[in-house]
Copies of this chain bind each other. A is one copy, B any other.
Amino acid sequence: MINIAVLGYGVVGSGVVEIIKKNSVSIAKKAYQEICVKKILDIRDFPDNPDRDLFTKDPDEIFNDPTIGIVVETIGGIGAAYQFTKEALSRGKSVVTSNKELVATHGPELLKLAKDNGVNYLFEASVGGGIPIIRPLNRCLAANEIYSIIGILNGTTNYILTQMKKQGKDFEEALKEAQSKGYAEADPTADIEGHDACRKIAILSSIAYNEFVDYRKIYTEGITKISLVDMKYAESMDSTVKLIALSEKIEDGIVARVTPAIVSNKNPLHNVEDVFNSIVVKGDAIGEAMFYGPGAGKLPTASAVVADVIEIVKHWGTSSNYDWGVKEGNNVIDFGETKSRYFVRLKVEDELEARKAVENTFGNVEWVKACDISVEDEVAFVTACGFEKDHCNALELLKENKAVKQVANIIRILD
């Protein structure tokens, strides 16, 4: 029997305890041993909880207990979680977590600490909730040189965008509904500004390309500027707007970004709706594979945590951590030097002059109309593929033109 401790009895932590109790027989069969929750650390009291005897407020009760072999960290954030993870690994306990912020920030250090102590630091649940993605990337696609990852990695924003598209709700309204349903937090910043998706694509990229990708180097733009009018333009292009996180390994380094993007209905990500996540991986041997499932939620996420625990128990005594080489300098290519196509909406004083100005700066563009609605004093177009820096310069030039009042929005096209 292997004893584990759970740090943080929130949504995911309580889910871990629930699954380990509920599926104990089949879990023991798969892990070749029984797994038992011996301690739960939380600063709160749970007097009516059937497991109340397991709770403690003193982390040393866990760290000093030699019979506890695995620590599940479901506290979140990079404060206590960071300290406790270091402590546990240093004491020779494996750590399993769903904490994407901590992995994205201190992954290399914690992986090294795990390796040095002959234990494991696993984090399948940090990306894609219950969707198996980290282990498949690392193990099942191990024979591939992976060169691209494209995903919808945040359920909250995908729910909001789905509501906007399907129910015609505007951003604020859809956000409020997401909050009332528990899909968005009271402070939704990390989700709607793209920070959550950014950390996740950084983790996936680090695993896929076998080198640490620092999330702070990834250009990140949220969905707060997306309007119903944008949705109507996307519709006219047989597309929809999604928050897309992507990375690509090219000769000079790694291209990575998190932005809203116009996704064609020919792309399998087009149909990923509500709180679901989906990740498309491209490799030299497999071509393309896609993984789809619930990107968050108590039991899905907890089931990914427990799968990591089972993996450690099954291979008890062995240490097999991801190897994230930290490269000198910046391996993420400067955003200005990356390429994409832009969808641009301009508010105009003079439509004809504005169109001329657009073609003078961007060359040949594809003019677009919104579906079903007429938008006044506006022209919209899709540019050719070009460097971010050149697109930005071109937009600055356009803004100076008298025929143009303002740039209403720009959204990248997912090609």
By a beta-carbon cutoff of 8 Å, the part of chain A in contact with chain B is 15, 19-20, 22-23, 26-27, 29-31, 124, 130-132, 135-136, 138-145, 210, 268, 271, 283-294, 297, 299-300, 302-307, 309-311, 314-315, 318, 320, 323
Expressed in whole angstroms, the minimum distance between the Cβ of A97 and any Cβ of chain B is 15
Chain B residues in 8 Å Cβ range of A315: 315, 318, 320
Chain B residues in 8 Å Cβ range of A287: 130, 293-294, 297, 299-300
Asked if B286 and A140 make an inter-chain contact with CB atoms under 8 angstroms apart, the answer reads no
The residue on B at minimum CB distance from A304 is B140
Asked if A132 and B141 make an inter-chain contact with CB atoms under 8 angstroms apart, the answer reads yes
The residue on B at minimum CB distance from A311 is B139
Please name 12 further chain A to chain B contacts, defined as beta carbons within 8 Å, in addition to the given A23-B143, A132-B140, A139-B307, sorted by A numbering.
Answer: A15-B285, A23-B144, A30-B138, A141-B307, A142-B311, A143-B305, A271-B271, A284-B299, A285-B299, A286-B300, A288-B293, A315-B318
Asked if B310 and A130 make an inter-chain contact with CB atoms under 8 angstroms apart, the answer reads no
How many Å lie between the Cα of A139 and that of B303 in the bound state? 11
Q: Which of B15, B140, B288 contacts A136 (CB 8 A)?
A: B140
Chain B residues in 8 Å Cβ range of A314: 320
Asked if A294 and B303 make an inter-chain contact with CB atoms under 8 angstroms apart, the answer reads no
Asked if A290 and B289 make an inter-chain contact with CB atoms under 8 angstroms apart, the answer reads no
How many Å lie between the Cα of A315 and that of B311 in the bound state? 12
Expressed in whole angstroms, the minimum distance between the Cβ of A347 and any Cβ of chain B is 37
Asked if B318 and A303 make an inter-chain contact with CB atoms under 8 angstroms apart, the answer reads no
How many Å lie between the Cα of A285 and that of B142 in the bound state? 27
Chain B residues in 8 Å Cβ range of A293: 286-290
Expressed in whole angstroms, the minimum distance between the Cβ of A134 and any Cβ of chain B is 9
Given A23-B145, A27-B142, A303-B143, the answer on whether A294 and B284 have CB atoms closer than 8 Å is no
How many Å lie between the Cα of A283 and that of B143 in the bound state? 28
Expressed in whole angstroms, the minimum distance between the Cβ of A254 and any Cβ of chain B is 15
Expressed in whole angstroms, the minimum distance between the Cβ of A146 and any Cβ of chain B is 9
How many Å lie between the Cα of A64 and that of B291 in the bound state? 42
How many Å lie between the Cα of A132 and that of B139 in the bound state? 9
How many Å lie between the Cα of A108 and that of B288 in the bound state? 32
Q: Which of B19, B135, B323 contacts A143 (CB 8 A)?
A: B19
Given A139-B311, A142-B306, the answer on whether A300 and B285 have CB atoms closer than 8 Å is yes
Asked if B210 and A141 make an inter-chain contact with CB atoms under 8 angstroms apart, the answer reads no
The residue on B at minimum CB distance from A300 is B286
Expressed in whole angstroms, the minimum distance between the Cβ of A323 and any Cβ of chain B is 7
Q: 30 A-B Cβ contacts within 8 A?
A: A19-B143, A23-B284, A27-B142, A30-B142, A131-B289, A132-B132, A135-B140, A139-B310, A139-B311, A141-B307, A142-B307, A143-B302, A143-B303, A143-B304, A143-B305, A143-B306, A143-B310, A144-B303, A268-B271, A271-B271, A285-B300, A286-B293, A286-B299, A286-B300, A286-B303, A288-B294, A289-B291, A290-B290, A291-B291, A315-B315
The residue on B at minimum CB distance from A280 is B292
The residue on B at minimum CB distance from A144 is B303
The residue on B at minimum CB distance from A35 is B143
Asked if A285 and B130 make an inter-chain contact with CB atoms under 8 angstroms apart, the answer reads yes
Chain B residues in 8 Å Cβ range of A130: 285-287, 289
How many Å lie between the Cα of A142 and that of B307 in the bound state? 5
Asked if B132 and A289 make an inter-chain contact with CB atoms under 8 angstroms apart, the answer reads yes
Chain B residues in 8 Å Cβ range of A310: 139, 142-143
Asked if B268 and A292 make an inter-chain contact with CB atoms under 8 angstroms apart, the answer reads yes
Expressed in whole angstroms, the minimum distance between the Cβ of A350 and any Cβ of chain B is 44
The residue on B at minimum CB distance from A294 is B287
Chain B residues in 8 Å Cβ range of A285: 15, 19, 23, 130, 299-300, 302-303, 306
Chain B residues in 8 Å Cβ range of A286: 130-131, 293-294, 299-300, 303
